[in-house]
């Protein structure tokens, strides 16, 4: 069993800090009588408490990220405590650079989005922030859990707050959106629970530890296929992969800014990377399965792009763009090369970043005009120049312009996938063209052209707080685009492990490194 | 082994893109700061009152022009170092850091100094500096002055990245980057939907080409294991010559080149790109960016030489584009549109050259074209600027300053512009001793020579023999040369000769531009006249012979040699005959234009447009844009909206997965009732406490 180490305090701290923050906020809120709106002074306290909590969380996540050693042990900052000893379930936490990166992303996105959308929520502020903090804790748990049962518990902790957030603070169609989200995610994760139980029973290992079950624990291909299917479904739904995506545009459209950003964190794609694929390599390396999933990915890329093209509402457009990006993640993960898997991880991260920045910017418009319909804008570049610069930069990153974060991930996915799946790569490449079409068209209709709606003349530009937040995004977008080297090197061992595990099962006879014989390869 | 350029001025190559990038940062900052201070909502007058200088005019100009001029100085120094180095030294690669280390992939931020990249760098910074200087006058009274220079500097930065990049991946950064700069500059006056549309169209059409570039990179990496030029060149010999793989790589590269360099069928963005300020058209859409595709093919000479079928495709597309655009150019009334179609046509000519293995001829024409086409565009800019001011003087807000039908007789008021533009016109038409004559003649002569006996001529393209294709291409180019002379002369006659058709009193206010704009024209005029000396044919020894030929030999000779293997040198008699034919065609074209295009007989601007026949088709540019709209764009949008979104997404998927079963509906009602009860606070309490309790229990259980 993996031993505890000196940095074992980090992961529990990352889980409990947001929960303690949530408790503190609940205490503040209790001063007002139940059912009444809070007085303004309390609002400020709640805002500050939330921001400070998430700020601490972001700092902790940074500490975690920078203390991770890519060349070191598979799992770091390990917590290993007994939990339900009858079943062999343990509180087993541990991260590798990929999960460390996801925790870093989550903490910073939550922090920046709360700071960047200060005034987005007016009603029931206290509950809103409590739920978001619980979500943050759950998210860290999902990324850090390496015990399957613990992972499942955390998975549910992530889903429930989101369900409430959409249902209560969403717009006009909030109840429908929330329920759609609930039915799809709960239904599919119950299947995953069944698969976890079956895996536990069939493996006979008497443990839920990932390390004990990885590789399928001696299960045959048929069993692996079934269980993989259950995991895949849960993850596919949560990451809004085609055709399980319809809840996302609705939910993100109705949800307040921070919740929309929280919905965009790629928990599902991470689940594929960490659990579904290494647990069931016989299924994940199965030709038909790979072909099918990559096919779904490609459909998602093109379908998402085409539907984004015709969205009259900018937020929905961004959601469909995210569905398109999710397709790149699928293709990258299942194409089975180190480059494509690294690319997929980068797409998870950078699509989270650019989508968050877009939702923040659109939230600023929405706050002032009460609408996100593209047709209600136009000519904004003259009125809100800073906003325009930021929207353009973030859009270009989403389009995948070289020099921005968006390019690196997509490029590596396609480059790495080409050798095994040329046709799919070719089709996915068309998505790159389409991304330019839908985003530039939308940006043009918002920022450029004549200013026709008088109401837009009095829009305010980014204030100081928003400037700082957006500047942070800009720096990250460019830094990841120009110098992703450290990041790539950090996550490379994890990517190699996954590829070795999945492909190693598929073709144990030829684990040949590509560089050595690349030149002698025949087309 | 150290490279001979180690320790020389060539190590300063990093300064080349850095300088304009600094300019971009400074001007960009000034622009944003200015825009935030003077929001349009508080100063609505600012938009209409365009004729006042920007408060930071001097600083912006100094930074904008200065950085590019300094880069030109650096380029000269590097070039000098390169001249001093031995010719067999090979490319000098400077690596600045790792960009994409992933798996087996290694892509570095690296620049490559070699003879081809430095020729391009000199053109980009040299012509770039002249055009920046011209812009100081041309854009002086535009409220977006700092933004303009920020974008223009940004363009130079990316263009230098494009030409200096040491691998396909780094080139691709510049490749998409110039597309971005072009997008921003075409839509510079973005308040008009038409301009914003044009910028977007340019970016998207270019993206189609970039898709090809990407696929080519994937193929290279999957098969050669590298994206570096040095590795690719070294390993290209392992590819089966004429095989499907190398042909595919080259065809995809050419798709990228065709997008950037506006070749059939991706040329459609370039005429629309004229919506940008005219100096932008001169720099980006004539002299530099659009030649990026020609550069890419020349850079990949080693690959194209292995794929005769791909090379022949380049010839075919180039030839079709050359004549097609020249024909459309015959009937345009907008002075910039004439020049735009002319550029497309001339680019086609360059592609015929590089496609037929005449890489030096292609690059030579690229250089001379940069001289005379920049001059023509800036001259047109001077005319537009003068007319615009004249209209402003007499408060005429409706007349079009770009329409040839409203010009005429300008030679009296703008003698400098008149003389210099005629020099450029004669050069592009191919009148002897001017630069365009030599470069065009070299293309024609090489295609003629390649058509018999060469390796390319004996290759076949979809069953058609290479020789036949090259013969036809020669003929097409000859006809194109004739048409070029015709439409250029027509433009000059209508703009500068005959009676003035400038409406109202404005005519009296037209005059030559200030010196800040005139000086670049003069420099370009000199280059237009003497640029041919760069590469004189042996037949006309008026100075050192074939300088450019020898200069570029180490870069392209292997590729050129492979394609032209077997073809014999032309005899002096044949060569004289070819030159005679080219000159005759040029003179004939000019004569035809003088005979047919009487300035006195120009139709009025409001005259009825032709509604049928060839004139109608030409005036509407063969309806290519309309066809693409109807066949591609509209069906995709309609299908996406009705089938994918409304049908599959909202109808099918939502229906099946979410709304289908009836009990779910009841569930929604139940959940809705609970959610709206206002007891959310209690729920939140329950959740938070439950989670905490659960986690606490785990810990307690754990320590037991």
Q: pLDDT tens digits for B285-309?
A: 989 999 999 999 999 998 998 999 9
Chain A segment 460-519 residues within 8 A of B by beta carbon are 461, 482-485, 488-489, 492, 495-496, 513-515, 518-519
Q: What is the DSSP string of B45-82?
A: HHHH---S--TTHHHHHHHHHHHHHHHHHHHHHHHHHH
Question: Number of A:B CB contacts under 8 A?
Answer: 266
Q: What is the C-alpha separation between B54 and A452, in angstroms, rounded?
A: 26
Q: At B543, is the pLDDT very low, low, confident or very high (cuts 50, 70, 90)?
A: low
**Around Cβ A107, how many Cβ atoms within 10 Å?**
27
Q: For position B660, what pLDDT does the model report?
A: 52
- Mean pLDDT, to the nearest integer, of A406-411? 94
pLDDT tens digit string along A21-71?
999 988 875 555 554 555 556 778 888 999 999 999 999 999 999 998 888
Q: At B46, is the pLDDT very low, low, confident or very high (cuts 50, 70, 90)?
A: very low
Q: For position B688, what pLDDT does the model report?
A: 59
Q: At B703, is the pLDDT very low, low, confident or very high (cuts 50, 70, 90)?
A: very low
Chain B segment 39-58 residues within 8 A of A by beta carbon are 39-41, 47
**Nearest chain A residue (CA) to B246:** A523
Q: For position A29, what pLDDT does the model report?
A: 57
**Around Cβ A353, how many Cβ atoms within 10 Å?**
25
Q: At A491, is the pLDDT very low, low, confident or very high (cuts 50, 70, 90)?
A: very high
Is there a contact between B645 and A310 if contact means CB atoms under 8 Å apart?
Answer: yes
Cβ within 8 Å of residue A443, ≥6 positions away = A391, A392, A395
Rounded to 5 degrees, what are φ and ψ at A334? Answer: -95, -5
Q: At A511, is the pLDDT very low, low, confident or very high (cuts 50, 70, 90)?
A: very low
- Mean pLDDT, to the nearest integer, of A292-306? 92
**CA dihedral in degrees (A422, A425, A430, A434; nearest 10)?**
180
Share of chain A above pLDDT 70, in %: 92
Share of chain B above pLDDT 70, in %: 90
Length reported for chain B? 704
Q: For position B331, what pLDDT does the model report?
A: 86
Closest approach of chain A CAs to the CA of B314, in angstroms? 22
Closest approach of chain B CAs to the CA of A225, in angstroms? 23
**Nearest chain A residue (CA) to B97:** A483
Q: What is the C-alpha separation between A253 and A250, in angstroms, rounded?
A: 5
**Around Cβ B627, how many Cβ atoms within 10 Å?**
11
Q: For position B47, what pLDDT does the model report?
A: 46
B701 touches chain A (CB under 8 A): yes
- Mean pLDDT, to the nearest integer, of B138-159? 92
Q: For position A4, what pLDDT does the model report?
A: 62
Closest-CA residue to A302 (of A438, A434, A441)? A434
Share of chain B above pLDDT 90, in %: 47
Highest mean pLDDT: which range of A38-42, B565-569, B586-590: B586-590
pLDDT tens digit string along B359-398?
999 999 999 999 999 999 999 999 999 998 888 888 888 8
Segments of B120-213 assigned E as strands: none
Q: What is the C-alpha separation between A270 and A275, in angstroms, rounded?
A: 8
Q: Could you identify the residue written with the tokens 């609002």?
A: A43
Closest-CA residue to A365 (of A51, A115, A117, A114)? A117
Closest-CA residue to B20 (of B62, B63, B61, B60)? B63
Candidates A386, A403, A461; nearest CB to B177: A403
Q: B318 near B258, Cβ under 8 Å?
A: no
Q: Kindly list the residues from chain A whose CB atom is less than 8 angstroms away from the CB atom of residue B668.
A: 175-176, 179
Which of the pair, B36 or A271, is modelled with greater confidence? Answer: A271
Q: At B126, is the pLDDT very low, low, confident or very high (cuts 50, 70, 90)?
A: very high
**Around Cβ B604, how many Cβ atoms within 10 Å?**
9
Is-cis flag, bond preceding A56, omega within 30?
no
Residue B528 pLDDT > 70: yes
Residue A507 pLDDT > 70: no
Q: For position B668, what pLDDT does the model report?
A: 54
B695 touches chain A (CB under 8 A): yes
Q: Could you identify the residue written with the tokens 């991880």?
A: A345
Q: For position B70, what pLDDT does the model report?
A: 96
The gap between the terminal CA atoms of chain A, to the nearest Å, is: 46
Closest-CA residue to B532 (of B395, B361, B328, B293)? B361
Compute and round to an integer the Cα radius of gyration of chain A.
22
- Mean pLDDT, to the nearest integer, of A374-379? 87
3-state secondary structure (DSSP) of residue B110: strand
Q: Kindly list the residues from chain B whose CB atom is less than 8 angstroms away from the CB atom of residue A436.
A: 203-204, 207
Q: At A256, is the pLDDT very low, low, confident or very high (cuts 50, 70, 90)?
A: confident
B207 touches chain A (CB under 8 A): yes
Q: At B702, is the pLDDT very low, low, confident or very high (cuts 50, 70, 90)?
A: very low
Q: B510 near B415, Cβ under 8 Å?
A: no
**Around Cβ A56, how many Cβ atoms within 10 Å?**
18
Candidates B35, B218, B667; nearest CB to A414: B218
Residue A513 pLDDT > 50: no
Residue B677 pLDDT > 60: no
**CA dihedral in degrees (A103, A108, A110, A112; nearest 10)?**
-170
pLDDT tens digit string along A156-202?
989 888 888 878 876 666 777 777 777 778 888 888 998 898 888 88
Is there a contact between A84 and B204 if contact means CB atoms under 8 Å apart?
Answer: no
Which of the pair, B131 or B236, is modelled with greater confidence? Answer: B131
Question: Which has the minimum average pLDDT: A331-340, A481-490, B237-246?
Answer: B237-246
Q: For position B584, what pLDDT does the model report?
A: 93
- Mean pLDDT, to the nearest integer, of B527-541? 81
- Mean pLDDT, to the nearest integer, of B115-129? 93
Which of the pair, B643 or B219, is modelled with greater confidence? Answer: B219
- Mean pLDDT, to the nearest integer, of B589-594? 92
- Mean pLDDT, to the nearest integer, of B611-622? 77
**Nearest chain A residue (CA) to B213:** A429
3-state secondary structure (DSSP) of residue A404: strand
Q: For position B704, what pLDDT does the model report?
A: 37
Q: What is the C-alpha separation between B417 and B513, in angstroms, rounded?
A: 8
Q: For position B78, what pLDDT does the model report?
A: 93
- Mean pLDDT, to the nearest integer, of B252-273? 92
Q: At B2, is the pLDDT very low, low, confident or very high (cuts 50, 70, 90)?
A: confident
> What is the CA A372 to chain-centroid distance, rounded?
23
The mean predicted confidence, pLDDT, of chain A is 86
Residue B184 pLDDT > 70: yes
Residue from B44, B660, B684 whose CB has the most chain A CBs within 10 Å, to mutate: B684
Tokens of A63: 């500490």
3-state secondary structure (DSSP) of residue B100: strand
Which of the pair, A412 or A167, is modelled with greater confidence? Answer: A412
Q: For position A212, what pLDDT does the model report?
A: 87
Is there a contact between B191 and A247 if contact means CB atoms under 8 Å apart?
Answer: no
pLDDT tens digit string along A218-232?
888 888 998 999 999
Chain B segment 236-295 residues within 8 A of A by beta carbon are 238, 243-245
Which of the pair, B597 or B175, is modelled with greater confidence? Answer: B175
Q: At what angle do helices B572-596 and B415-429 cross, to 10 degrees?
A: 130
pTM: 0.90
Is there a contact between B102 and A436 if contact means CB atoms under 8 Å apart?
Answer: no
3 state SS for A136-198: HHHHHHHHHECEHHHHHHHHHHHHHHHHHHHHHHCCCCHHHHHHHHHHHHHHHHHHHHHHHHH
Q: For position A71, what pLDDT does the model report?
A: 82
Residue B472 pLDDT > 60: yes
Candidates B193, B676, B685; nearest CB to A450: B193
Q: For position A39, what pLDDT does the model report?
A: 57
Is there a contact between A461 and B36 if contact means CB atoms under 8 Å apart?
Answer: yes
Q: What is the C-alpha separation between B559 and B21, in angstroms, rounded?
A: 34
Q: What is the C-alpha separation between A279 and A75, in angstroms, rounded?
A: 16
Closest-CA residue to B189 (of B223, B144, B158, B234)? B144
Cβ within 8 Å of residue A27, ≥6 positions away = none
Q: What angle do CA A105, A425, A343 make, to 5 degrees?
A: 20
Closest approach of chain B CAs to the CA of A262, in angstroms? 18
Q: What is the DSSP string of A230-255?
A: HHHHHHHHHTT-TTS-THHHHHHHHS
């Amino acid at each position: 069993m993996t031993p505890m180490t000196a940095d074992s305090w980090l992961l529990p701290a990352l889980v409990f800090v947001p929960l303690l923050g949530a408790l503190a906020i609940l205490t503040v809120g209790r001063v007002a009588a139940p059912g009444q709106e809070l007085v303004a002074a309390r609002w400020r306290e709640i805002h500050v408490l939330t921001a400070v909590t998430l700020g601490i969380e972001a700092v902790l996540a940074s500490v975690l990220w920078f203390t991770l050693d890519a060349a070191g042990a598979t799992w770091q900052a390990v917590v290993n405590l007994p939990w339900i000893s009858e079943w062999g379930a343990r509180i087993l936490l541990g991260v590798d650079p990929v999960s460390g990166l996801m925790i870093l992303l989550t903490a910073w996105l939550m922090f920046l989005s709360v700071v960047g959308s200060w005034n987005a929520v007016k009603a029931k502020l206290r509950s809103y922030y409590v739920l978001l903090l619980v979500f943050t804790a759950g998210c860290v748990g999902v990324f850090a859990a390496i015990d399957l049962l613990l992972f499942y518990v955390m998975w549910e902790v992530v889903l429930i707050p989101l369900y409430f957030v959409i249902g209560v603070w969403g717009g006009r169609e909030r109840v429908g959106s929330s329920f759609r989200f609930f039915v799809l995610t709960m239904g599919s994760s119950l299947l995953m629970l069944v698969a976890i139980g079956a895996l536990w029973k069939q493996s006979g290992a008497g443990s839920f530890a990932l390390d004990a079950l990885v590789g399928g624990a001696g299960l045959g291909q048929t069993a692996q296929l079934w269980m993989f299917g259950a995991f895949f479904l849960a993850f596919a739904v949560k990451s809004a992969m085609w055709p399980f995506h319809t809840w996302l545009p609705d939910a993100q459209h109705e949800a307040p800014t921070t919740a929309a950003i929280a919905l965009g964190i790629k928990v599902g794609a991470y689940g594929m990377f960490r659990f579904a694929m290494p647990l069931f390599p016989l299924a994940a390396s199965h030709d038909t399965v790979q072909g099918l999933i990559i096919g779904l990915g490609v459909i998602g890329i093109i379908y998402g792009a085409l539907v984004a093209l015709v969205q009259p509402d900018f937020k929905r457009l961004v959601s469909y763009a995210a569905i398109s990006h999710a397709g790149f993640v699928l293709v990258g993960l299942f194409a089975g090369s180190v480059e494509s898997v690294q690319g997929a991880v980068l797409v998870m991260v950078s699509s989270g970043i650019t989508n968050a920045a877009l939702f923040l910017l659109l939230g600023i418009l929405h706050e002032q005009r009460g609408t996100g319909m593209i047709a209600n804008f136009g000519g904004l570049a003259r009125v809100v120049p800073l906003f325009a610069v930021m929207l353009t930069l973030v859009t270009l990153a989403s389009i995948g312009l070289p020099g921005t974060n968006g390019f690196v991930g997509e490029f590596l996915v396609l480059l790495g996938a080409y050798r095994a799946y040329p046709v799919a790569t070719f089709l996915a490449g068309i998505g790159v063209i389409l991304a330019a079409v839908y985003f530039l068209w939308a940006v043009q209709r918002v920022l450029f052209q004549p200013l026709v709606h008088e109401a837009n003349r009095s829009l305010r530009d980014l204030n100081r707080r928003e400037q700082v937040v957006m500047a942070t995004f800009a720096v990250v977008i460019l830094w990841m685009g120009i110098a992703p080297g450290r990041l790539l090197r950090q996550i490379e061992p994890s990517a190699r492990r996954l590829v070795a595990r999945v492909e190693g099962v598929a073709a144990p006879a030829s684990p040949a490194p590509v560089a050595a014989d690349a030149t002698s390869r025949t087309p | 082994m150290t490279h001979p350029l180690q320790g020389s001025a060539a190590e300063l190559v990093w300064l080349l893109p850095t300088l304009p990038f600094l300019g971009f940062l400074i001007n960009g900052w000034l622009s944003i700061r200015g825009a935030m201070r003077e929001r349009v909502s508080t100063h609505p007058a600012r938009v209409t009152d365009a004729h006042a200088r920007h408060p930071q005019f001097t600083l912006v100009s100094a930074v904008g022009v200065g950085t590019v001029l300094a880069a030109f100085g650096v380029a000269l120094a590097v070039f000098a170092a390169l001249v001093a180095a031995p010719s067999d030294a090979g490319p000098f690669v400077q690596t600045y850091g790792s960009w994409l280390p992933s798996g087996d992939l290694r892509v570095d931020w690296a620049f490559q100094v070699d003879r081809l990249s430095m020729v391009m760098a000199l053109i980009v910074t040299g012509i770039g500096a002249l055009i920046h200087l011209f812009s100081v006058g041309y854009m002086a009274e535009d409220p977006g002055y700092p933004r303009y220079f920020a974008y223009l500097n940004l363009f130079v930065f990316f263009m230098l990245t494009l030409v200096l990049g040491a691998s396909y991946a780094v080139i691709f950064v510049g490749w998409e980057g110039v597309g971005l700069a072009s997008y921003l500059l075409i839509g510079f006056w973005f308040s008009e939907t038409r301009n914003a549309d044009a910028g977007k169209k340019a970016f998207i059409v270019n993206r189609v080409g970039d898709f090809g570039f990407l696929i080519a990179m994937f193929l290279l990496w999957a098969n050669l294991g590298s994206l570096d030029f040095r590795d690719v060149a070294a390993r290209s010999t392992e590819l089966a010559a004429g095989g499907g793989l190398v042909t595919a790589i080259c065809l995809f590269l050419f798709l990228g080149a065709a997008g950037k360099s506006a070749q059939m069928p991706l040329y459609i963005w370039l005429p629309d790109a004229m919506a940008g300020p005219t100096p932008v058209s001169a720099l980006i859409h004539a002299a530099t960016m659009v030649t990026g595709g020609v550069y890419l093919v020349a850079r990949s000479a080693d690959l194209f030489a292995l794929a005769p079928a791909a090379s022949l495709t380049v010839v075919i597309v180039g030839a079709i584009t050359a004549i097609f655009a020249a024909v459309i150019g015959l009937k345009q009334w907008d002075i910039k549109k004439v020049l735009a179609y002319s550029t497309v046509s001339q680019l086609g000519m360059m592609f015929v050259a590089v496609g037929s293995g005449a890489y030096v001829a292609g690059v030579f024409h690229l250089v001379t074209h940069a001289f005379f086409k920049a001059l023509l565009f800036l001259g047109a800019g001077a005319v537009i600027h003068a007319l615009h001011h004249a209209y402003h003087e007499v408060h005429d807000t409706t007349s079009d300053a770009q329409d040839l039908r409203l010009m005429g007789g300008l030679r009296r008021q703008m003698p400098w512009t008149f003389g210099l533009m005629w020099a450029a016109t004669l050069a592009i038409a191919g009148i002897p001793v001017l630069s365009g004559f030599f470069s065009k003649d070299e293309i024609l002569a090489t295609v003629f020579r390649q058509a018999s006996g060469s390796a390319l001529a004996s290759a076949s393209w979809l069953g058609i023999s290479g020789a036949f294709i090259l013969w036809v291409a020669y003929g097409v180019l000859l006809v194109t040369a004739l048409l070029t002379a015709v439409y250029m002369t027509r433009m000059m006659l209508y703009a500068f000769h005959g009676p003035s058709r400038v409406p109202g009193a404005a005519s009296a206010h037209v005059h030559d531009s200030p010196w800040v704009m005139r000086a670049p024209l003069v420099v370009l005029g000199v280059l237009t006249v003497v640029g041919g000396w760069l590469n004189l044919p042996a037949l006309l020894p008026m100075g050192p012979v074939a300088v450019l030929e020898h200069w570029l030999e180490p870069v392209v000779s292997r590729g050129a040699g492979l394609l032209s293997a077997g073809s014999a040198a032309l005899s002096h008699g044949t060569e004289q005959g070819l030159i005679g034919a080219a000159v005759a065609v040029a003179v004939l074209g000019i004569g035809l234009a003088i005979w047919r295009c009487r300035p006195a007989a120009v139709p009025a601007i409001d005259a009825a447009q032709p509604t049928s026949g060839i004139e109608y088709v030409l005036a509407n540019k063969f309806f290519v844009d309309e066809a693409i709209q109807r066949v591609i764009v509209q069906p995709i949008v309609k299908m996406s909206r009705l089938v994918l979104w409304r049908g599959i997404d909202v109808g099918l998927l939502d229906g099946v997965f979410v709304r289908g079963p009836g009990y779910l509906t009841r569930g929604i009602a139940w959940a809705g009732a609970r959610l709206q009860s206002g007891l959310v606070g209690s729920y939140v309490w329950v959740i938070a406490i439950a989670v905490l309790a659960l986690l606490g229990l785990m810990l307690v259980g754990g320590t037991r």
